[in-house]
Amino acid sequence: APPAPPRPAPAQPEPAAPPPQPRPEPRPQQAETPPQPTPQTPPPRPDTRDQERAARLAQQQAEERQRREQEERRRQEQIDLTERQRQQEEAERRERLRRQAEEREKQLAEIRRQREAAERQSRMEQQRLEQLRDRQLATARSEDRTAPADSGTPQAGTGGTDDSLLGRYRLAIQQAVERNWIRPETIRPGVPCVIRIVQIPGGEVISANVDPSCPYDELGRRSVEAAVLRAQPLPYAGFESVFQRELRFTFRAPEG
């Protein structure tokens, strides 16, 4: 047969309500004390020796940098000074060359002027001489009774006795040259030497050169040429009618 259902439990009585409790009196509230921070351990002190070394190093680096900057400035100043000196010297050199070129040009211009003046004077003198020779040709032929200077015929100035105006002219030249001649020891008295003279009216000598036929040695030849140049101006006054621009003159070493 099936089991019988469980019996229900008997009902429990409900508990009685507690009596009302008296309300507590309010008490003044006190402020809560904030929590105190936990004291921290102070950081370790840095090593001052490292700082001093770092400061000294920084100072040294700054001083080194300043020293290099000063040296660079001095070097640049020296470069600038050298460049200015070079430019000044170059300017002075150019100015000096310019002045020298101007001076040379002035000298050349003066030489050209003198040469042109001498050429004009020479042409005028040559024309005057030719005119004089044309006018005096007959008289010169009658007075010139001497042979050419290199023919060996005696004439005044070479130990002869020609008293013509031309003979006296040659004698005057001989005497003028003798007075200015310094005899070398190698030249014997009486030895003749033909010398070619180019002169202008007034007796100024343009050139004096011994003829290749002259028997004098080199020292003797130079001594005669020098004597002619020292004797200038050669005799001219009173001999205008027989003056010769190109004169072939025989010089004889005087006695004594």
pLDDT along the chain (256 residues), means of 10: 60 61 63 61 69 89 93 92 92 92 86 79 65 52 42 39 75 89 86 90 89 90 91 88 87 80
Could you give the count of Cα atoms lying within 13 Å of 173 in the half-sphere of its Cβ?
Answer: 33
Q: Per residue in 78-122, pLDDT tens? A: 999 999 999 999 999 999 999 998 888 888 888 888 878 777 776
Phi and psi at residue 109, to the nearest 5°: -65, -40
The DSSP bridge pattern shows strands 192-200 and 204-210 to be antiparallel
Is pTM, for the whole model, over 0.75? no
pLDDT at 25: 65
* Domain residue spans of the chain: 165-252
The CATH code that applies to domain 165-252 is 3.30.1150.10
What torsion, rounded to 10 degrees, do the Cα atoms 32, 34, 38, 39 define? -120
- Position 162 scores a pLDDT of 45
- Determine contact, residues 181/229, Cβ cutoff 8 Å: no
193-227: buried (b, 16+ CB within 10 Å) or exposed (e) per residue?
Answer: bbbebebbbebebeebebeeebebeeebbebbbeb
pLDDT tens digits for range 31-61 = 566 666 666 666 666 668 888 888 899 999 9
What is the reported pLDDT for 160?
A: 41
